[in-house]
Every structure is written in C-alpha cells, then in structure tokens.
C-alpha cells in the first residue's frame, strides 16, 4: 500500500473511531474534530519521511491548490514538514469524509445538530452497509 492509500485508510479509520467513541460535537464540525485538533505526525524527521513516501511535490501541489481554491492564498508554511503533512492529512480527511458520507441521510440531515449516540450509530451502520456493497 502506498502512502496516499495509507493516509486515506487512516482517515477512514479516524472518522469511524471518532463516531464509535461518542462524538458529541456538531456534525458540521466532525472534520475539524478529527483532522484539525492535533498533529498527524509529530517530529520533523518522521514528517519528512512520510512526505517523501507520499511525494513531496505532490503534497505541496495538493495543499497549494486546496488553499488557493478555498482561501484565496496559501497559508500553510510549506517549509515546515509537520505543518505541510498536517494540512495534507486534513485535505485527505475532507475528501474521505465526504466520500464516506455521500448518500448517508443520517449525517446530512443532522449537519447542524449536535451528535448523539443514536445518530452516531445510524451513521456507522450506514457506513458499514455502504462499504459492504
């Protein structure tokens, strides 16, 4: 498995884990809670290794494109491997979240609502059913 696939799988697992362990924030904030509340990898050396596995130029291009399209300019310090990798993981997490939740009404219907155990369970059930197809 290459680093791109690995990061996607890690993102899927992180989303599922957050819901399984009782996410209680607003569903519209799930992305932030999972992917923007801590570093993906801590340590410059480890971050550099991960970026090399991913493809440094691919990572820079993905982050630059995303930030220019969404914010109008690049805010991430591209010279900081931890920051670059963290933003890359956030972007991948966003892509994965929207792919996972595509067609899952329990998620979209509750977008502006606080999460609860029952809704989390319905979302997780729909995710598992979708994955089984």
- pLDDT of 70: 97
Task: Please report whether residue 32 resides in a domain.
Answer: yes
Task: Please report whether residue 132 resides in a domain.
Answer: no
How far is the C-alpha of 60 from the C-alpha of 51, rounded, in Å?
9
Tally the C-alpha atoms within 13 A of residue 14's C-alpha that lie toward its C-beta: 23
- pLDDT of 22: 93
Question: Consecutive sets of 10 residues in the chain, 133 residues long: mean pLDDT of each?
Answer: 94 96 96 90 95 97 98 96 96 97 95 96 95 83
Number of domains composing the chain: 1
- For 89, phi and psi rounded to 5 degrees? -65, -40
Task: Please report whether residue 92 resides in a domain.
Answer: yes
- For 114, phi and psi rounded to 5 degrees? -70, 140
Strand partners, 114: 26
For residue 41, what are the domain limits?
3-121
- For 21, phi and psi rounded to 5 degrees? -95, 25
Predicted TM-score of the model (pTM) = 0.93
Task: Please report whether residue 133 resides in a domain.
Answer: no
Task: Please report whether residue 108 resides in a domain.
Answer: yes
Task: Please report whether residue 46 resides in a domain.
Answer: yes
CB 67 within 8 A of CB 84: no
Task: Please report whether residue 25 resides in a domain.
Answer: yes
């Amino acid at each position: 498995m290459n680093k791109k696939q690995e990061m996607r799988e890690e993102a899927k697992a992180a989303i599922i884990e957050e819901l399984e362990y009782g996410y209680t924030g607003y569903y519209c904030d799930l992305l932030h809670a999972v992917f923007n509340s801590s570093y993906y990898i801590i340590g410059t050396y480890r971050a550099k290794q991960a970026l090399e596995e991913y493809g440094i130029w691919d990572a820079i291009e993905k982050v630059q494109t995303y930030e220019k399209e969404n914010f109008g300019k690049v805010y991430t310090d591209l010279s900081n491997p931890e920051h670059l990798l963290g933003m890359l993981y956030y972007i991948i997490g966003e892509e994965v979240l929207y792919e996972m939740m595509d067609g899952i009404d329990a998620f979209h219907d509750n977008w502006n609502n606080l999460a609860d155990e029952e809704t989390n369970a319905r979302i997780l059930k729909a995710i598992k059913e979708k994955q089984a197809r």
